[in-house]
Amino acid sequence: MIYKDEQAKFLKVTLNRFVLSLFICLAFVLPNMAFAAIDEATLNHAIDRAGLQRMLTQRMLKSYCQLGQDQFYIKPDEKLSDALTRYEQGLKFLEDFESVQGVKGSLDKINNIWPEYKVLITAKATKDNAPELVKLNEKLLSLSHRIVLDLETESGKELGKIVNISGRQRMLSQRIELFYLLRDWGFEDEFYANALAKSRKEFTEGLAYLNNYPENTEKVKQLLTKAEKSFNLFSHSLDDKNNAFLISLTVGQLLKYMNTATNLYSKM
Residue-wise pLDDT tens digits, 9-31: 555 655 556 544 544 444 444 44
Residue 112 resides in a domain: yes
Residue 7 lies in a domain: no
Decide if 199 contacts 176 (C-beta within 8 A). Answer: yes
Quick check: is 29 in a domain?
A: no
**Looking at residues 101-129, what average pLDDT do you find?**
98
* Residue 133 falls in which region: left (phi positive, over 0), alpha (psi -120 to 50) or beta: alpha
Residues in Cβ contact with 227 at an 8 Å cutoff, skipping those fewer than 6 apart: 169, 207, 254, 257, 258, 261
Q: Give the percent of the chain with pLDDT over 90.
A: 81
How far apart CA 242 and CA 226 sit, in angstroms, is 25
The CB-side HSE value for 179 (13 A sphere, CA atoms) comes to 22
pLDDT tens digit sequence for 206-241: 999 999 999 999 999 999 999 999 999 889 889 988
- With respect to residue 249, please indicate whether it lies within any of the assigned structural domains: yes
Residues in Cβ contact with 196 at an 8 Å cutoff, skipping those fewer than 6 apart: 176, 179, 180, 183, 238
Q: How far apart are CA 175 and CA 169, in angstroms?
A: 10
pLDDT band for position 34 (50/70/90)?
very low
What is the total count of domains within the chain? 1
pLDDT band of residue 97 (cuts 50, 70, 90) is: very high
In a domain, 74, yes or no: yes
57 within some domain? yes
A 10 A CB-CB count for 249 gives 14
What integer pLDDT is reported at residue 168 of this predicted model? 98
Domain enclosing residue 90, as ranges = 45-266
In this prediction, what percent of the chain has a pLDDT beyond 70? 86
pLDDT of residue 192: 97
Residue-level pLDDT at 209? 98
Residue 25 has what pLDDT? Answer: 46
In the chain, the largest separation of any two C-alpha atoms, in whole Å, equals 100
The answer to whether residue 28 sits within a structural domain is: no
113 domain-assigned: yes
Q: What is the pLDDT of residue 23?
A: 46
Please, which pLDDT band fits residue 1 given cuts at 50, 70 and 90? low
**pLDDT value for 5:** 56
Residue of 103, 121, 111, 7 lying closest to 61 (CA atoms) = 121
